[in-house]
Structure 1
Amino acid sequence: MVAPVKAAFLWLILRAPVPGPLDRREKALRRLLWMAAAFALVLWYPIALLPGSVDAAFQFVLWAAIDVLYLLVIRWRSRVLRAVAGVMFAVELTGMANELLDELDLLELGSGDLVQPGLMLGGVAATVVTVIGQWRDGRWSRGTLIAGWWSVGAYALVLPFNVLIGRISSGTAAMLVLMDAVGLVSTVWIVATARELSAERLPAEPPPARRPVVRVAMAAVAVLPIMVVINPEQNAYLTYSGWSIDCYDRPSFGDLKPAEREAAFLCRARRTEGGGPPMFPDSLSDQAILAYGRVLCRTEDRDEQEAILKRAGSAWPAWGVDPWDLVYVCPEIIGATRPELLRSTAETAAADTAYTAEENAKCRDPWPRTKGVVQSTAKYFLFVDGDPGYLVHDPEDEVADEMAELATDRSYDDNALLGVAGSAVLIGHVADVSDLCLTVKALRAAPPPRTAGWDQVMEVPIVSRGGRLTVPEKGEGDVGAGAPMPNLAIAGKGRYRLRVYVRVDAGEEQHLVVVFPGASSKRLELKS
């Protein structure tokens, strides 16, 4: 949609000037306006490669000369209007001077939240008063005046983004393209102003037929270099890279629109996490990577994937490609065997909640007749690969992390079920399981041993320095208790005893943790 609009603007910009004699001031103004238009279209790029102070100084000098000539060339037909124009031009140049001082690291005229918008509004006011002056002069056509008012409207669009929302460069790609097109309106007005400086001497008959030829030649000079620098289809489109901010996150497939899914795969394919090379070399275009992705979707094993990745020039072909990456490019294939990968974030959260509730329902209180002051029964989910167990700890302890680490080390060093360290006790698991049924109870006094039916029963000391003793809950991760765990330190800060009952039945492991006040520091093995 923007491309034809920009093409029309470019055609208006490249129109030949109205023929007719000009005096010395008018000639100078026309050349300076053409220089301003050339800067807006082309010269900004090479000047941007220079220090910022060069850019700021160039624009300040250019527009200072243009503003002076505006005052001298435009027939304002009112001394008051000419004076107002001079004031507005001075405010506009003050803003440019402030930017130049900033680039030179000198004392600025002002940088507050009120000063900067005020200087920018001064530039808008300068445009408004110039259009009014052109209208009173009578040389400029209605189309030029409309372009001038449209340029004021363009400022009205740009200012909220710069002042209220933030810099336009931080917006979306669509916003960047739109604002780039809107910015051409001001260039159309500047060129039209230069073009019609001699409009009052316009001949009654149209100029010779050579004018369209000149316009075509000028358009060719402007457009052909751009066509030359556009890469052909087979070259790399580095639209997405491993350094792109949007590529750090892995969006859920169900949260993406169809047009966004290929972009997500390209992000994964070009990622450079951990400092390693990307999945595909940068020499491959985005289209080629997507094609390889669709071929990889149809492979049956890692060997086939490795062969395809080698052919593509991958730096790590033996790693293969995971289905949670390929789902973005071929959901119909991956979803047939891994439907959970097609879910949205909300659907995944709902499925996790339902699964956790179902697993919790499988666990039963092994001491239903012994009611604790507080108690809870739930499934405790372990980390599958090498999780040593779970903690009963005081999260309010100032050294809670150190105690948890020490308790874990002691469980490994002693090769024991329990690792004890002050306010933390690590309770290990006996069988090779990924989850277990856990019941916690807090009692006011020590219960009878009741070791019958249990494989191991142990009792150790634990202290609460912050007035809390609890078990970590399952949050956004996959580890923790599947239901809220109570505070087992029912007497507040102080010393407690912790008794653990463990049994394994048909591969299912069950734990009962009982906490009660007690000052003893002995470690007891009631059954082993």
Structure 2
Amino acid sequence: MAAVVGLVLGDAWLWAAVEWTSPVYARFYVDGEFGTATVVALLVAALVKAALLWLILRTPAPGPLDRRTRVLRRLLYLAVAYSLVLWIPIGMFPDAVDVAFQLVLWTAIDVLYLLVIRWRSRMLRVVAAVIFAVELAGIADELLDELDLPEIGSGYVFGFGMMLGGVAATVITIVGQRRDGRWSRGTQIAGWLSVGDYALMIAISVLFRWDFYANPVAPVVTDVLELVSTVWIAATARELSVGGRPVGLPPARQRAVRIVVAAMVVLPIILLIHPEQTPHLTYTGGSMDCYDRPSFGDLKPTERDAVFLCRTRITADGMPPLFPDSLSDQGILGYGRALCRTKDRDEQKAILTRAGSERPAWGADPWDLVYICPEIIGATNPELLQSTKETEDAGAAYVAEENAKCRDPWPRTKGVVQATAKYFLFADGDHGYLVHDPKVEEVEKAAEQATDRLYDDNTLVGAFDSAVLVGHLEDVIDLCLTVKAFRTAPPQRIAGWDQVTEVPVVSRSGHLTVPEADGGEVGAGAPMPNLAIAGKGHYRLRAYIRMGKTGEEHLVTVFPGTSRKKLKLKP
């Protein structure tokens, strides 16, 4: 009935009625009207899910229960409730809460399975315990991942093994049900169907890499398949109190079960078959998860192709993608590996032109190609193979090395506060660096005015209110900077310096400092002190500049002073 109402109200409501989710989610799968295949799949799924829901909601079989069996039944029905509705409110919490709930629930169920099921074999019970432990280890590993803690294992093989552990847990439970004798043949068949569903979904994810966003029929089919395991869990809970002999199905129901089994096995496989000319598109230019650029070293080998597909299909700042959306995943990967083997831009342009690129003359960048041919790109750009942490560590080591090259030009004249570090400028040229009050509201305006005044004369120092911009003699990308704050004016000591200039500066908040790089590309390579040691008020800033053995060297001294004059002390 709900599906019929949804069919009348529109595609989004039909989706909500069948998939039991908000109508908004329909737009994640189809941007526009549903195709005929999608509508038919939804209507068929509605009938199948209605039949499965009827099986789930059947009342428990009467009969006495001991304490363990009663607790197991309640926990199984809790698992059923989670599968149907509880996942919605639990999904409002962080993912770690959901995984922790699953771990606690299935740990209790597995322990009670070992105690309640009559295995009739000590060895079989031990095997079941081991398999259940593997299943729970997979859930625990997922919880550790959600909590950003060290995982039990990693990699494709481990993940696939954990997935098979869940399938094995279902199989061993069905074997135990058969040996116990309390569960009917229909319940056991539902269990084997759920095993077949697991196997089918593993085949889909591993062999076919089915893209849910490209084919809306896929999530409809998998949603129905997942409900079969819920039927088995509900049937297991319902028949816990049945006596020792299995209950057989009537002949008519046996035939119906065979038809359902055949349909559920064959129909999903048919849906996987596409015409050869249909491209498989994992991502499109508008895929939101393609705007991140993970470091190569942070990715598993199985994830690298997907990142390359993202990077070459992304449309950012109005720029067309490297490859058109009409080109299949395998086509893009093939052209990408061919680009790795090119020797110059002309060869890249020829390949991109054949691929139908809208920007063939731009070529392909090594930081994109590294994901599919690291052995080639890494030979000339080894830094592209690093993880985020390795990149950060390398950057920190470089900054520390550069800082060590700088020396205090006045080592015997100690300031109240002082620091020496390498100051990094923009690689393509920069006016200089600021000494400013970063906490005033109009700090940017003051910096602009100071920049304008930098070129009023040849002193290389521009000052305005709470900002002073100090320029540089040569066209450099970094320089050695020492800053010192004094309570009174220090000696001038202009000998050995190329230029010395003194200007006024105001601290309105009690702060004067130099910007730090702090993970960026521009700024001081070490923490800079607050030079306004007397608090709010007027100060004098004296800038010393020269070319030394380590390159360009700067010394900035700050001390209280009310003079508003700009003094050119040297030359």
Q: TM-score, normalised by structure 1?
A: 0.66
Q: Does 1:372 align with 2:298?
A: no
Q: Which residue of 2 aligns with 1:50?
A: 11
Matches within 5 A, 1:82-481: 130-132=57-59, 135=61, 153-157=79-83, 159-166=85-92, 181-185=225-229, 227=270, 230-411=273-454, 417-481=460-524
1:428 CA displacement: 1.3
In 2, the alpha carbon distance for the partners of 1:339 and 1:424 equals 41
1:493 to 536, 543, 548: 536
Would the aligned equivalents of 1:127 and 1:152 in 2 still touch at CA under 8 Å? Answer: no
Asked whether the equivalents of residues 305 and 371 of structure 2 are also in contact (C-alpha less than 8 Å), the reply is yes
Distance in 1 (alpha carbons) for counterparts of 2:75 and 2:528: 66
C-alpha displacement at 1:451, in angstroms? 1.4
| Preserved contact between residue 76 and residue 234 of structure 2 (Cα < 8 Å) | no
Aligned in 2, Cα 1:509/1:162: closer, same or farther, shift over 3 Å? same
Q: 1:205 to 1:470 in 2, by over 3 A?
A: closer
Pair 488,233 (structure 1): closer, same or farther in 2 beyond 3 Å: farther
- After the TM superposition, which of the residue ranges 160-169 and 439-448 deviates more from structure 2? 160-169
SS at match of 1:487: coil
Preserved contact between residue 429 and residue 476 of structure 2 (Cα < 8 Å):
no
Q: How far 1:425 sits from its partner (Å)?
A: 0.8
Structure 1: gaps of 5 or more residues: 1-34, 60-95, 101-125, 138-145, 192-202
State how far apart, in whole Å, the 2-side matches of 1:155 and 1:356 are: 56
Output the CA distance in 2 between the equivalents of 1:316 and 1:249.
22
Aligned mates of 2:6, 2:422 — CA distance in 1: 62
Write out per-residue CA displacement over residues 152-199 of structure 1, whole angstroms, 9 at most, x where no aligned residue: 634324545311233999x999999786632244678999xxxxxxxx
8 Å Cα contact 2:313/2:321 also seen in 1:
yes
The change in CA–CA distance for 1:335 and 1:469 in structure 2 (over 3 A counts) is same
Distance 1:228 1:407, change over 3 A: same
For 2:391 and 2:250, the matched residues in 1 are separated by 74
Equivalent residue number for residue 503 of structure 1: 546
Offset of 1:362 from its aligned partner?
0.3
TM-fit CA distance, 1:371? 0.6
2:488 partner SS: coil
Aligned in 2, Cα 1:162/1:414: closer, same or farther, shift over 3 Å? farther
3-state SS of 1:395 partner: coil
CA pair 45-294 structure 1, distance change in 2 beyond 3 A = farther
SS at match of 1:503: strand
CA contact (8 A) 2:352 2:363 kept: yes
Structure 2: where are the runs of 5+ without partners?
24-52, 64-71, 99-141, 143-200, 206-211, 213-218, 236-247
Q: CA deviation at 1:245?
A: 2.3
2:75 and 2:570 mapped to 1: Cα distance?
Answer: 90
Deviation of 1:421 (Å): 1.7
Q: Give the partner amino acid of 1:424.
A: A
Instruction: Tell me, in whole angstroms, the C-alpha distance in 1 between the residues paired with 2:351 and 2:6.
Output: 41
Instruction: Find the counterpart in structure 1 of residue 556 from structure 2.
Output: 513
Deviations along 1:266-317, one digit per CA (max 9) or x if unpaired, are 1100010002211101111111111111111111222211111111111111
Contact map agreement 1:455 1:503 (CA 8 A) in 2: yes
Rounded to whole Å, the distance in 2 between the matches of 1:44 and 1:289 is 43
Aligned residues: 404
On the 8 A contact 1:468/1:488 being kept in 2, the answer is yes
What is the Cα deviation at residue 320 of structure 1?
Answer: 1.2
Looking at structure 2, the residues matched to 272 and 381 of structure 1 have their Cα atoms a distance apart, in angstroms, of 32
Q: Distance in 2 between matches of 1:386 and 1:510?
A: 17
Distance across 2 between alignment mates of 1:383 and 1:465: 28
Task: Tell me the SS of whatever aligns to 2:11.
Answer: coil
Deviations 1:186-227 (A, max 9, x none): 678999xxxxxxxxxxx99957x9x69x96799579956973
Instruction: Give the 3 Å change call, closer, same or farther, for CA 147–261 of structure 1 in structure 2.
Output: farther
Q: Go from structure 1 to structure 2 and tell me whether the alpha carbon gap of 1:267 and 1:205 turns closer, same or farther (over 3 Å shift).
A: closer
Q: 1:289 to 1:167 in 2, by over 3 A?
A: farther
Per the alignment, residue 154 of structure 2 pairs with none
Structure 1 position 432, deviation (Å): 1.1
